[in-house]
Amino acid sequence: MKYGIVIYPQKEIQDWANSLRKRYDSHYTLIPPHITIKEAFEIENINEAIQYIENITSQIPPFTLKLSKVGTFLPISPVVYVGFEKNPVIYELQEKLNADILKRPLKHQFIPHMTIAQDLHEQEIHDVYGRLKLENLNKSILVDRIHLCYQIENQSWTVYQTFLLTGK
Amino acid sequence: MKYGIVIYPQKEIQDWANSLRKRYDSHYTLIPPHITIKEAFEIENINEAIQYIENITSQIPPFTLKLSKVGTFLPISPVVYVGFEKNPVIYELQEKLNADILKRPLKHQFIPHMTIAQDLHEQEIHDVYGRLKLENLNKSILVDRIHLCYQIENQSWTVYQTFLLTGK
């Protein structure tokens, strides 16, 4: 079974992202707008993982991600995303969630982002990129919790457990 | 903002339900297979609601729902669902989640169920009902948590918080 860990932005940001994803993101119906903090991974003992994650989230305080720019992963991957102003806390969280029993090889360097478009032809990706640069990005995400999800047969994700960030 | 409270069955049950919902349920992509324990409701102070729910789930122990039969809400509603053997705990949970600050008028009497088909013509509903009666229902759902969700603009639901059932 595949697990993953994500941040769901608050509803206003999700609604804004979905108004764009609807047209551009093939995963639009499979998962709400999100920031992946840990890519799909497998683990035998999920309860052990949960204890481990709880220990981490008790050390990390709530933090803010300020939207900063539109980016693309071209030529590696046909994706347009929204990125954030650097905030060391999300890197600390990501590193701690990829250590010890949760350590897995990373497919890509960790770049915190919210995907807006994917699985389009390269020319379309360029068009969407240009289009998105006109969007107002004066928005912030308050991150006070993360969600451990699992993938079901139709490739969509169900939340298994929420972890509140309770560090000081 | 609309909130709701649901039970997500474990992956095996979700995969089985989705293999059917895919063809028959218009909400297939909007929410994973689930049992609604509290219908959509609004509340001003969500943190107050969370404290209230935590207090309830600390009193309710994990319980099992054994699948028992295929039912339909015709003629009131064109829905085919899977029902469960009576278990008083889910009724207790539902009642407690509809009291005090969470008390709201019920649209329908509470019948614990997992929807498999909806928004079809009446004749199709009858066909699906006949077809589902041939399914093997020798399955159980272990309920050890509930999920508070909110609805986003595209009518899909995002999980806000998980509550483990920790009663003895």
Any chain A CB within 8 A of the CB of B15? yes
**Band of pLDDT at residue A131, cut at 50, 70 and 90:** very high
Verify whether the Cβ–Cβ distance B159 to A150 is below 8 Å. Answer: no
DSSP strands (E only) in chain A: 3-7, 35-41, 63-72, 79-84, 113-118, 140-143, 145-151, 157-164
At B155 the pLDDT is 87
Please, are residues A7 and A110 in contact by the beta-carbon 8 Å criterion? no
Q: Quick check: helix, strand or coil at residue B109?
A: coil
Please name the helix (run of DSSP H) or strand (run of DSSP E) that holds residue B126, with its range, or none. helix B122-132
The rounded distance, in Å, linking the Cα atoms of B106 and B141 is 25
Task: Name residue A121's amino acid.
Answer: H
Nearest to B153 among A18, A147, A161 (CB): A18
**Band of pLDDT at residue A154, cut at 50, 70 and 90:** confident
Any chain A CB within 8 A of the CB of B18? yes
CATH of the domain at A99: 3.90.1140.10
ipTM (interface pTM):
0.92
Any chain A CB within 8 A of the CB of B44? no
pLDDT higher than 90, residue A47: yes
pLDDT higher than 90, residue A24: yes
At B118 the pLDDT is 95
The rounded distance, in Å, linking the Cα atoms of A121 and A118 is 9
Please, are residues B26 and B116 in contact by the beta-carbon 8 Å criterion? no
The rounded distance, in Å, linking the Cα atoms of A115 and A17 is 9
Any chain B CB within 8 A of the CB of A30? yes
Verify whether the Cβ–Cβ distance A15 to B153 is below 8 Å. Answer: yes
Q: Quick check: helix, strand or coil at residue A68?
A: strand
Average pLDDT over residues B45-69: 97
Domain residues for the domain of A137 are 2-164
Tally of domains in chain B: 1
Q: Which residues of B touch A160 (CB under 8 A)?
A: 162
Task: Name residue A166's amino acid.
Answer: T
Q: Which of A12, A145, A162 to mutate to test the interface with B (most CBs of B within 10 A)?
A: A162
